[in-house]
Amino acid sequence: MNKQLERVSLAGMLVTLGIVYGDIGTSPLYVMNALIGDAGKMGNISPDYVVGSISLIFWTLMIITTLKYVVIAMRADNNHEGGIFALYALVRKNAKWLIFPALIGGAAILADGTLTPAVTVTSAIEGLKSQHLGPITFSSSQHDVLLVTTVVLLLLFVIQRFGTGMIGQSFGPVMVLWFGFLAVFGVVNLIAYPTILKALSPVYAIEILFSPANKVGIFILGSIFLATTGAEALYSDMGHVGKKNIYATWPLVYAALFLNYLGQGAWVINHAHDAAYRDLTDLNPFYEMLPGHWRLLGIVIATLAAIIASQALITGSYTLVDEAIGLKFLPRLIVKHPSNVKNQIYISNVNWILCIVTLSVVWYFGNSQKMEAAYGLAITITMLMTTVLLYEFLKNKIRPGLALMVALFFGTIEAIFLIASLVKFIHGGYVTLAIMLAILYVMWVWYFGNKRREHYERESEYVSLLDYRDQLQELSQDESVPMFTTNLVFMTKIKGDYQIKRSTMYSILDQEPKRAKVYWFVTVNETNVPYESNYTVDMLGTTNIVNIQLYLGFRKSQSVSVYLHQIVDHLVEQGVLDPQVPKYSTQRHRKVGDFKFVIINEQPADLVANDQLSALDKRLIGGRIYLQNITASPTSWYGLEFSNVVEESSPLFIVQEKDQYLVQRKIYHAVKNKH
């Protein structure tokens, strides 16, 4: 992480405001609108309902966002990185079952994220309805709102491939303006009804849950929860800005948000029974409370804030997917770095899938109020899963009993929110749950398909590399066999006891002997440290057989060719390897010969006939191989696009079981010709 972000600084705080708070910072655009929807219409709203609702918002932000995430969860950093996958990487050695909350929570946050750009941008653009800009009058048609929203979102997804470094530099100042705008107009409206400040008391938050003024009872928490949906993103973005900058900025953001909620509440109380408003069911108090020409400025700033929130969500999705790939939860996808901005990545597949799903959500729901009704359900699942993993982390830091009390406290509150949010299922929550289940299914097939494959691989499928040292050395010196390459590199996995897949040795010795001066066996190991990169070298007591164990953090790119050339230079300089001066070369003083990389792709052709595998395991293993074949190729994954690569196909199981029922019925001998 950038050392400038390890301490509190004005620049660091500015970056933090621009990166971290986009999601939670735009919640005033839709939370009060959702609460009006719960009441049925403006005329049904009483002062007690508004005060109680805002009290719930205040204490939800205090308990979930401030206490759980800012105070506690951010202490669970994995080398300065946060988020549910980084947390899982810290505790996965505690118990195998922790894989389940990690997969469920990760799938949920990715799924719920598809609604964030849709609901924030749509809410902002809806404010343009019937607005006047000089001689221009904006349409009041919702269809036109959807068209403008589509254009904005499409442009946002298109520019991702070019990098957003220059745009990102303006995020901080825009968000400073946004939070200042929230606070100022919150105070302006608050003055008209200062009694609303009593919402600071938790008594009103508890009373409203059981008050007759609240017609939906506990289900009001489904709308209240929208105010804190960005808390998980706040934790995930910790690695980009540093926890100290979040500690310094969150109180300011919290104050600005709450002041705006108070202002919106005061406006609603003062205007709930006005003839112009009392029969409305779809009303956005954020825009209505802005006086005169300030509303147009509010719409512009809100739209910019919504775009920033969407941008943060998109880049956050890249980061989550990249971490999931590193932890072997998702198939290989090509990760690019479109700019020089640290930690900025681009995953084309994720970008366009997210684009298609987000635009589909916009047109399926049609307006922000319907999106709000579906929003937040899946993220409650993520928060519960984070609490489970957080307990595993805390019990090693504090007394287990105290850790359990902390987990039960947050878990109970989040379980209540989940129950309250279940009503969202019939109002569109099924969309995000369907997306979540689709992502979870892919994760499940990829992760457990690999585990089941490893389980069924018999001992006969592995051989000891040590048993083949003599053959490899003899083959290397056998001039009767044509030279295949100077350095033959196999991207394979060697276990601690030198066990290697039989298919690797079969490729070298049986198919067509591959003669080389040096045989390289490279194992890539993902580690819990995000940006780690180191390696070990084992020569197996020879001068031409090299076992490389490469250790890369789960956020480190796997450019194996680059790493290997550095390793070769080191070994030649150290005298471990003999110089391989090529006879012909464009490079003077070159000491290393040519390379050929061999990648063995397993094929599932022998799965159907294998009686040792259950039907479920056949589907898991076959599904994993199918995903492997339709996603990034090993050549791209290992960064070998400009290298000499040979890809070979191999069955899953080289040694096949003999058919005990195969019986010889008869043998015929050829008749000799007498002539």
| Mean pLDDT on 479-499 | 89
> pLDDT higher for 448 or 555?
448
Q: How confident is the model at residue 667 (pLDDT cuts 50, 70, 90)?
A: confident
Percent of the chain with pLDDT over 90: 41
Helix (H, G, I), strand (E, B) or coil at 51: helix
Helix (H, G, I), strand (E, B) or coil at 234: helix
Q: Phi and psi at residue 550, in whole multiples of 5°?
A: -100, 125
Query: What are the pLDDT digits (tens) for 579-630?
Result: 877 776 666 666 677 889 998 877 665 565 566 677 787 888 888 888 887 8
From residue 567, how far is each of 50, 537, 560, 586 by CA, in Å? 66, 9, 10, 21
Neighbour count for residue 125 (Cβ, 10 Å) = 25
Of the candidates 651, 114, 7, the one whose C-alpha atom is nearest the C-alpha of residue 435 is 114
Q: Phi and psi at residue 533, in whole multiples of 5°?
A: -155, 105
Is there a contact between 476 and 511 (Cβ–Cβ < 8 Å)?
no
Separation CA 40–CA 467 (nearest Å): 77
Neighbour count for residue 79 (Cβ, 10 Å) = 16
How far, rounded to the nearest angstrom, does the alpha carbon of residue 577 sit from its chain's CA centroid? 42
| Mean pLDDT on 15-27 | 88
Length of the chain in residues, anyone?
Answer: 675
Least confident of 153-162, 202-211, 260-269: 153-162
Q: How confident is the model at residue 377 (pLDDT cuts 50, 70, 90)?
A: confident
Tokens 């946002």, located at residue: 156
Q: What is the dihedral of CA 382, 388, 392, 397, to 10 degrees?
A: 80
Separation CA 526–CA 97 (nearest Å): 20
Query: What are the pLDDT digits (tens) for 41-87?
Result: 898 999 999 999 999 999 999 999 999 999 999 998 887 788 899 89
| Mean pLDDT on 161-172 | 70
| Residue type at position 670 | A
Query: What are the pLDDT digits (tens) for 181-195?
Result: 999 999 999 999 999
Q: What is the pTM (predicted TM-score) of this model?
A: 0.81
Q: How confident is the model at residue 201 (pLDDT cuts 50, 70, 90)?
A: very high
Q: How confident is the model at residue 657 (pLDDT cuts 50, 70, 90)?
A: low
Q: Retrieve residue 585's tokens.
A: 């070369």
Query: What are the pLDDT digits (tens) for 329-371?
Result: 999 888 777 655 556 678 889 999 999 999 999 999 988 878 8
Is there a contact between 537 and 563 (Cβ–Cβ < 8 Å)?
no
Residue 55 DSSP label? H
Q: Does position 556 have pLDDT exceeding 80, yes or no?
A: no
Cross-strand bridge partners of residue 133: 136
Q: Retrieve residue 98's tokens.
A: 């922790």
Percent of the chain with pLDDT over 70: 89
Average pLDDT, the chain: 85
What is the reported pLDDT for 358? Answer: 93
What is the reported pLDDT for 2? Answer: 47
Helix (H, G, I), strand (E, B) or coil at 566: helix
Least confident of 96-110, 126-140, 196-210, 545-559: 126-140
The DSSP element (H or E) to which 485 belongs, if any, is strand 483-491
Q: Does position 655 have pLDDT exceeding 60, yes or no?
A: no
Query: What are the pLDDT digits (tens) for 302-335?
Result: 989 988 888 888 888 888 888 888 888 999 888 7
Residue 456 burial (10 A CB sphere; 0-12, 13-18, 19+): middle
Q: Retrieve residue 337's tokens.
A: 């770095």
Write a three-state SS string for 429-479: HHHHHHHHHHHHHHHHHHHHHHHHHHHHCCHHHEEEHHHHHHHHHHHHHCC
Using alpha carbons only, what angle is made at residue 572 by residues 566 and 574, rounded to the nearest 5 degrees? 100
Separation CA 345–CA 338 (nearest Å): 7
What is the reported pLDDT for 451? Answer: 84
Give the strand pairing for 483-491 and 595-603.
parallel
Is there a contact between 520 and 544 (Cβ–Cβ < 8 Å)?
no
Is there a contact between 119 and 30 (Cβ–Cβ < 8 Å)?
yes
Helix (H, G, I), strand (E, B) or coil at 249: helix
Is there a contact between 440 and 107 (Cβ–Cβ < 8 Å)?
yes
Q: How confident is the model at residue 1 (pLDDT cuts 50, 70, 90)?
A: very low
Separation CA 241–CA 425 (nearest Å): 35
Residue 1 DSSP label? -
Handedness of CA 347, 349, 351, 357 (dihedral sign): negative
Q: Phi and psi at residue 64, in whole multiples of 5°?
A: -75, -55
What is the reported pLDDT for 268? Answer: 95
Handedness of CA 630, 319, 82, 120 (dihedral sign): negative
Using alpha carbons only, what angle is made at residue 631 by residues 625 and 633, rounded to the nearest 5 degrees? 90
Q: Does position 575 have pLDDT exceeding 90, yes or no?
A: no
What is the reported pLDDT for 582? Answer: 72
Q: Retrieve residue 341's tokens.
A: 């901005």
Residue 114 burial (10 A CB sphere; 0-12, 13-18, 19+): buried
Least confident of 163-167, 370-374, 614-618, 648-652: 163-167
Using alpha carbons only, what angle is made at residue 196 by residues 192 and 202, rounded to the nearest 5 degrees? 170
The most confident of 227-231, 413-417, 423-427, 552-556, by mean pLDDT:
413-417
Q: Does position 167 have pLDDT exceeding 80, yes or no?
A: no
What is the reported pLDDT for 203? Answer: 96
What is the reported pLDDT for 152? Answer: 92
Separation CA 128–CA 106 (nearest Å): 35
Residue 58 burial (10 A CB sphere; 0-12, 13-18, 19+): buried
Spatial strand order in the sheet of 483-491: 533-538, 545-553, 515-527, 483-491, 595-603, 645-651
Looking from the CA of 225 toward its CB, the CA atoms found within 13 Å total 30
Please report, for the chain, how many H helices and E strands are present, in that order.
26, 10
Query: What are the pLDDT digits (tens) for 75-126?
Result: 988 877 888 998 999 999 888 999 999 999 999 988 887 888 898 899 888 8
| Mean pLDDT on 538-566 | 85
